[in-house]
Structure 1
C-alpha cells in the first residue's frame, strides 16, 4: 500500500450545518487540518479527507449522500469525531476533482479542510 500527498490543504474554515443552514444548534465547529491522502486498494482509489462541522449521525448521512452522488464514487466511510476533524474516506474508480469533493461537502453543510 502506498500513500500520496495530494497537497489539498485548505485554510477555508467557513462553517455550515445540517440543521437549517449556516451555524446550527448542534454545535458545529471549525478547525484546520492536514491534506488529503490517496491510496490504491484492490484497484480502487481510496482518498481520505478531513471534514469539520460534523457532530451526529445525520451529519454522516448528509455527507455520505452528497459524496455518493459523485459519478465514480463506489463507497464512503466516515470516522465521526464530534466537534473535531472527522475523517472521510471516499473510494472511487477514478481520481476525484477536489472542487467536486469540496462542493459536495459544502452542499451537505460542512467544510473540507
Structure 2
C-alpha cells in the first residue's frame, strides 16, 4: 500500500478548537491495490465543495475508498473553493455511490454538468 501524508496547512474548526483564518492546500493519495496487478481500471474525477483542511481530505478519502472496487483515491484540496478527487477502480464507478460517500463525509459533490 502506498500512502502519501496528509499535510494540514489550515486551521479550521474541525481540526483545531481555536479555529483560524489561515487556509492552505492539502492532498492525499490512498492506493488500495492488492499485490495482484489489475490490467483494466476505470477513472473518475469529481468536484467536491465544503472541504477546508487535511481532516476533510482524510474523511472524503476514507468514505470513497469504502466503495466496492475502488483501488485509489487522490484528493486535491482547494481550501475555501472546489476541491477535486480522482478515483480509480477495478470496475465501473457508480457516481451515485460516490455522491453518497462524499455526503456521508459531510461534503457536497458538485455536478460537472454545469
Tell me which interval the TM-score lies in, with the shorter structure as reference length: 0.5 to 0.7
2:55 matched to 1:58? Answer: yes
Match of 1:78 in 2: 75
Structure 2: runs of 5+ lacking an equivalent: 1-12, 22-38
Structure 1-normalised TM-score?
0.62
Equivalent of 1:48 in 45, 49, 58: 45
Aligned length: 77
Structure 2-normalised TM-score?
0.62
- The alignment partner of 1:46 has SS state of strand
Distance in 2, matches of 1:90 and 1:26, equals: 31
Structure 1: runs of 5+ lacking an equivalent: 1-17, 20-24, 28-41
Say what the alpha-carbon RMSD is for the aligned residues.
2.0
- The alignment partner of 1:100 has SS state of helix
Structure 1 residues 99 and 26: alpha-carbon distance in aligned structure 2, compared to 1, 3 A threshold: farther
Report which structure shows greater RCO (CA 8 Å, sep ≥6): 1
